[in-house]
Structure 1
């Protein structure tokens, strides 16, 4: 796209039925600030800071569609008891002039059944690397229940004031684990061919769209690459993206990579804080991570816009609006995304470091992020997500 015809990333834009004040999105970074599955003041304040900092939309992560779809025991679950707190959160974000999205999904084999008290579900029976317990092979009844729950969650999100939902189809959560030939060994209509492995993801997206119509925007967060041999790969991701476009179920695609089960650092280029992860793990995981964690928590070099090359291939295959994620830290990278045909950019770690980064970039396009990609923020997801280098909100 010629530079003079590329959209201005800081100008208002439309996402489905929603008008955003600019094209920047605070990416879903699991906050671990809910308690008992309900919104807390800390969670509201977290998103208010990002809204006040200038983003067009902030994303509340991760809200489970069912109790067994949580990764831990504290996460928000879509149920009537959560409605008042969620409404308070959306109203507080709107008061700052930003839109707000809810990331919804089912954790599948990523669930820690020790913390949730419920069996983890996967495409096939396996041993969980998270809880060291058995992951149950989901029955067709389980899958029907999960599909319905996604629709119910999306409907509730619209009712409590969310402007959008982002459906989690990545990181080897349930839908993503079905897409993965490494994890999905089924021989029924949900296993084998790509059409079968994608069946659950496509059903989920149809249920979400049917539930909300055009009242709110619907995004899908889809893996391009699991980062493990034999996993889901880019050529299949392109096909699934085309199927989502064919179905008319999404207003925008956000492409991601990595496996929370098998290669979590594949998404988070930069340092691999193995020692820090070991320090917060209970036994026997503490000892295991300390001894062999570098085989699982691997280090990948960081560069700005590091997912652009792969996402560009999806961009070329579909006409859907797309969100570029991965190493968006400065105005030149944002502008490059716009020139490449992406309509939005999503930012995670850079905004944890500086929630007001967008306001500062608007005031001075030469502003550079202070994030150094040490990835120690990932370790704080066990206690309350934050940048370890940033001043405390209470100081």
Structure 2
């Protein structure tokens, strides 16, 4: 039996060779006040790239103005390309690769902030039901966004199929109660996600020059009654594998619309200072105990059934967790909060070798989540200069 790979060894991701198997997960940077790249955003990603990452992921590059979570989010358009090219060049100069997470926020979009209607499978006071033409436009917008990502020098495109964003909302039996070709059976509910992936794959194949990978971030479970279950998600993942449009899937969980803490685990942010927590978020910040590799149990089910590369996310903060992921057959690990706290953590872990004495300072209180309304940073180590 082959021994598991060293997490710091090079690895193939589709056409790419990453210098190691560690990816920075997409986390909202709060660094684009004009919906365009800033030096602040570049430094946000350059620091962990210099700190030893294989690849960093730029969060929430919206495929359309109405697809933004709120108006300050970058949306993919010609005006964004020069700044994005500066960003990708800066990360490449540090020896790392860079991925563009493209997304339509769907029901998670802030319609008032964006100045346009939010779209969802069904009508609600905060969003309206997407028509067949709307769905076609969103699918095409993902393809166009992928083209802009290629033009901007990104090495990979990550399609957001999680957290009850547009594609994930259609997958949800709770949020999608349509009776047309996009609702009802899982076959119908998965139609949007599968179509988006195929549209992006066609653009990458036609314009990517054989150098761009395509991944997706997929919910294993929503963590809400009536939402996406592991069983249905595994079937969707199987179809995505059979469709052949993806080079890897990053496994995630939780609903940004209803239950975000199912994804993060640990303390509920702002609980000690209620005034810091926006009223819209106060009722959905439940607490779930944190433990290392907290999504592993569900992820094992996907690893057992799928042959394609998988990225393990959730509670990866030290070498033991990384080695466990490799031993369990995962191809990559993704990190978020630990790298926000210490961008140089990976270089220190690697230098530590087999001693395993380096541990993250992250305490998983999640108070860093409150900083997304100003400038995302770790509250323990402080905002970078």
Scaled by the length of structure 1, the TM-score of the pair is 0.94
CA contact 2:61–2:73 (8 Å) conserved in 1? yes
2:311 corresponds to 1:319? no
**Aligned counterparts of 2:382 and 2:222: Cα–Cα separation in 1:** 34
Give me the whole-angstrom Cα distance separating, in 1, the residues matched to 2:285 and 2:371: 15
Q: What does residue 39 of structure 2 align with? A: 41
Counterparts of 1:373 and 1:226, CA distance in 2: 20
* CA positional deviation for 1:281: 5.1
Residue 378 of structure 1 is matched in structure 2 by: 369
For residue 286 of structure 2, give the secondary structure of its aligned residue in structure 1: coil
Aligned partner (choices 174, 191, 209) of residue 182 of structure 1 = 174
Matched positions, count: 378
Q: 2:142: which partner in 1?
A: 150
Partner of 2:264: 268
Greater mean alpha carbon deviation, residues 270-279 or residues 106-115:
270-279
Q: Is the 8 A contact 2:270 2:277 kept in 1?
A: no
| TM superposition shift of 1:273 | 1.9
Alignment match of 1:16 (pick from 3, 14, 17): 14
Q: Give the conservation status (yes or no) of the 8 Å contact 2:377–2:384.
A: no
2:216 aligns to what? 220
Gaps of 5+ in 1: 128-133
Aligned 8 A contact 2:270 2:367 in 1:
no
Evaluate the alpha carbon distance shift between residue 46 and residue 93 of structure 1 in structure 2; reply closer, same or farther with a 3 A threshold: same
Measure the CA separation in 2 of the matches of 1:281 and 1:308. Answer: 30
- When structure 1 is superposed on structure 2, of 335-344 and 361-370 the one drifting more is 361-370
Looking at structure 2, the residues matched to 346 and 171 of structure 1 have their Cα atoms a distance apart, in angstroms, of 16
2:124 corresponding residue in structure 1? 126
Residue deviations 1:187-241 (CA, integer Å, cap 9, x gap):
1000000000000000000000000014301111000100000000000111011
Task: Indicate the residue corresponding to 1:131 in structure 2.
Answer: none
- Matched with 1:390 is 381
In structure 1, distance between residues paired with 2:46 and 2:75: 21
1:137 aligned to which of 129, 137, 143: 129
CA 1:69–1:276: 2 relative to 1, 3 Å: farther
- Map of 1:289-308 to 2, 5 A cutoff? 293=282, 295-308=283-296
Q: How far apart, in 2, do the equivalents of 1:124 and 1:52 lie? A: 44
Partner of 2:3: 5
Cα distance in 1 between the residues matched to 2:194 and 2:375: 33
> Are residues 1:97 and 2:77 paired?
no
Q: Measure the CA separation in 2 of the matches of 1:95 and 1:361.
A: 22
Shift of 1:392: 3.2
For residue 114 of structure 1, report the CA deviation from its aligned partner: 1.3
| CA shift in 2, pair 1:276/1:164, >3 Å | farther
Equivalent position of 2:110 in the other structure? 112
Tell me, which stretches of 5 or more residues in structure 2 are unaligned?
none
Give the secondary structure class of the aligned counterpart of 2:217: strand
Deviation at 1:279, TM superposition (A): 2.6
Aligned partners of 1:187, 1:277: CA distance in 2, in Å? 44
Scaled by the length of structure 2, the TM-score of the pair is 0.96
CA RMSD of aligned residues (A): 1.3
Which residue of structure 2 aligns with residue 194 of structure 1?
Answer: 186
Q: What is the CA deviation profile of residues 47-75 of structure 1, one whole-angstrom value per residue up to 9, with x for unaligned ones?
A: 11010010000000010000000001011
Q: Is the 8 A contact 2:11 2:17 kept in 1?
A: yes
1:32 is paired with a residue of what secondary structure? Answer: coil
CA shift, 1:8, in A, is 0.7
1:221-236 equivalences under 5 Å are: 221-236=217-232
Matched-pair contact (CA < 8 Å) for 1:170–1:176:
yes
* 1:130 equivalent in structure 2: none
